[in-house]
């Protein structure tokens, strides 16, 4: 199993898809990295030799923030928003959607399981 950016990538997959297992590398960056390294995207990850793996690692180290550093940066950005008490920071703090989605219906992913509130009992008309 080749190690790229400190991650064991699946070796039976094509290298284009295997690179996307690294947090912070999506389809576009995977294609860019392989083009810069001069590696065929159709090649399987287990067919990469040490030179090709080191080329990929060098390109990622030089130009991309991935894995732990990226997760840390995202958390720091969210913490900064909370600290300056911005609207988005308050939404993060309350556990609500922060990008303008509706919350009257839906938003269950952010809000969690329903908490049923006892409603007003209807009075039957005679």
Mean pLDDT of 53-64: 93
What average pLDDT is seen over the chain? 91
Question: What's this model's pTM, rounded to 2 decimal places?
Answer: 0.78
CB 3 within 8 A of CB 18: no
User: Alpha-carbon torsion 85, 65, 62, 30, what sign?
Assistant: negative
Give the pLDDT confidence score for residue 115 in this predicted structure. Answer: 86
Architecture of domain 3-63: Orthogonal Bundle (1.10)
Which pLDDT score is estimated for 90? 96
pLDDT value for 17: 96
Domain boundaries of the chain, sorted by first residue: 3-63
Question: Could you tell me the pLDDT band of residue 125, with boundaries at 50, 70 and 90?
Answer: low
Cα 102 off chain centre by: 23
């Amino acid at each position: 199993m080749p190690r790229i950016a400190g991650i064991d990538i699946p070796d039976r997959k094509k290298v284009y898809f295997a690179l996307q297992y690294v947090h912070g590398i999506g389809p576009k960056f995977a294609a860019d990295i392989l083009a810069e390294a001069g590696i065929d995207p159709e090649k399987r990850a287990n067919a990469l030799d040490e030179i090709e793996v080191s080329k990929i690692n060098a390109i990622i180290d030089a130009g991309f923030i991935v894995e732990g550093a990226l997760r840390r940066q995202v958390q720091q950005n969210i913490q900064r928003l909370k600290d300056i008490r911005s609207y988005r920071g308050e939404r993060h703090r309350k556990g609500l959607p922060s990008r303008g989605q509706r919350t009257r219906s839906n938003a269950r992913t952010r809000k969690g399981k329903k908490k049923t509130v006892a409603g007003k009992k209807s009075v039957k008309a005679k």
